[in-house]
Amino acid sequence: MGVEPVADVKFDPPASAKQEDPPHEAESEDHQRDHQQVEGVANEVPAETGHEVVHRCAQDEGDDELKRVHNEQRDHARQQAPPVPPELTKDSTHEDRGLYSNGVLAKGGSVREIPELIEAYVADLKKRAAIKSAAVEHAFRRVSRHRLLEGFYREDEQGEHQYGTTRFAWRKSNPDSPDPDLLRIVYSDTPVLTRLSPPSSTSQPYLVARMLELLELEQGMNVLEIGAGTGYNAALIQEIVGKTGHVTTLDIQADVVEQTTRLLKAAGYRRIEVIAKDGAMGHAENAPYDRIVATVGCSDVSSRWVEQLAERGFMLIPLQHGAEGFDPLTRIWVEEERVLGRFVGWSGFMSIRGALESEQRLSFEKQEQVSAGPPQAELPVVSVSEEIERIFGRTWNERTEDEQARYLDFPLFLAVSGWDVFWTKEGSGLWHRRGGVVVGKHKVLVHGDVSLVQDLQSLCAEWVELGRPGHADWRLEFQRRADAAELPGGEGTWTIERKFSTEVARLEKP
């Protein structure tokens, strides 16, 4: 599958560049030009920005559909600028810039030591079995999360920024002298939102650690990351793959790449290659990759990733199934020219942008709108089976981590069967173009067609009859839609039509 070439933008910004204001409000003409270059528009970049722009001139032959989608998004960018393993040695992968030097912060008479915060942070992740290996533990101890942040958003009813129906306040942070109160947030199991529109963040540490363990990284590996964020993931990966390994991370937002490059260099991670580029294209120049990992919810498996994967390598992709925020972690590999996969865990990410962006997905914003409106019907909870009440009758945060994992098995079956699952403040349930059903603690709310309640009952009965399959029971195969007739079907198989490929899911006990 071929696509139009994209300008790869590499940044070497002046050391004095600092982020003082919220990123989306610090919009500049230079930033708009940089973003357009990412979408394939070759504009001139002022010399004083210090940006080195490498234009790719070769065009691969291949799939016209992916090229058409990419061209449409490029044209849109022209018209509308975006809104404002073994033990490792201590000095294995980066220059020690005194990340822990002194290690003491004082404010208002209180004293906090960064090493103590990191120790508690790592201990919590180990206790909850997110960190299991010595290599991942070492990486978490080595990389200072606060050094890769210049500010972030926190939910605040009085905040002056809004995303969806939630208001946020901007909290500025100095990587060299962070506020102790902000450090307590940074070194907790909390995702940190660094941009609102378009959104960008650093993921929840528990999920980051689980994904690193699932990647089975070793020293010397070559890794491609889709979604640079703050660079925290890339730095952790670099610590594990060591001096003989290499990390390439891609992000479609040019301003994210500029900031991440600068902060990674300041933290001593000069070998990580951060490139402004549509992640769907991969980066053939550094291929083949032993591992490809995405930190965004992906609507499909890019054929470029398949092409750039090393012979015995694999991908770890949060593959969208249903509504936004439901992205089962999917291990994908190539075997005898077949693209195969299986679910290995759970995640919820912001959706990918660019050629793989999906307009059909039930977004977070739409979920909020649905739940905010008055229901067409309100039924007693006895209107659904005890099984459904057990699964959907409590909110996510009311469950233990073990309960959360078990709870997701039925929603995954719904998603594979072509239905959406969504979460609201009242509870969770089933979504379809005819509306939604939310099962709360004491009531069932119907937003739309009341017959959806019976659909939910029937689907749950089918899942129970199949033996309540969990994520480990599914086997996946992907093929270009033009070739999908060759995929095996029949009883015990479910088919999902993705943007460029067809996914066939089969139940098979491991």
Structure tokens at 17: 């560049």
The 192-196 sheet, strands edge to edge? 161-163, 166-172, 151-155, 192-196, 199-202
pLDDT digits (tens, 9 = 90+) for 305-345: 999 999 999 999 999 998 777 899 999 999 999 999 999 99
Convert the pLDDT of each residue in 146-203 to its tens digit.
999 998 888 888 888 887 778 888 889 888 888 888 899 999 998 888 888 888 888 9
DSSP 8-state symbol, 146: G
Please give the Cα distance from 498 to 144 (Å, whole number): 38
What are 54-101's pLDDT values in tens digits?
323 223 334 454 445 445 544 444 343 333 233 333 334 554 433 333
So which residues are the catalytic ones?
203
- pLDDT-derived band of residue 22, with 50, 70 and 90 as boundaries? low
Give per-residue pLDDT as tens, 91-141.
Answer: 345 544 333 333 434 343 333 578 899 999 999 999 999 999 999 999 999
Strand partners, 417: none
Q: How many Cβ atoms are within 10 Å of 76's Cβ, its own excluded? A: 10
Q: What angle do CA 495, 470, 440 make, to 5 degrees?
A: 95
Sign, Cα dihedral of 160, 162, 165, 168: negative
Dihedral (CA of 15, 16, 19, 25) sign: negative
Taking the C-alpha atoms of residue 383 and residue 444, their distance in angstroms, rounded to an integer, is 8
Q: Is the dihedral of CA 189, 194, 196, 201 positive or negative?
A: negative
Q: Answer whether residue 13 shows pLDDT above 50.
A: no
Q: Is the pTM of this model over 0.75?
A: yes
In whole angstroms, what is the distance from residue 317 CA to residue 416 CA? 16
| pLDDT score, position 486 | 63
Can you tell me the distance from the alpha carbon of 238 to that of 225, in angstroms, rounded to the nearest whole number?
Answer: 11
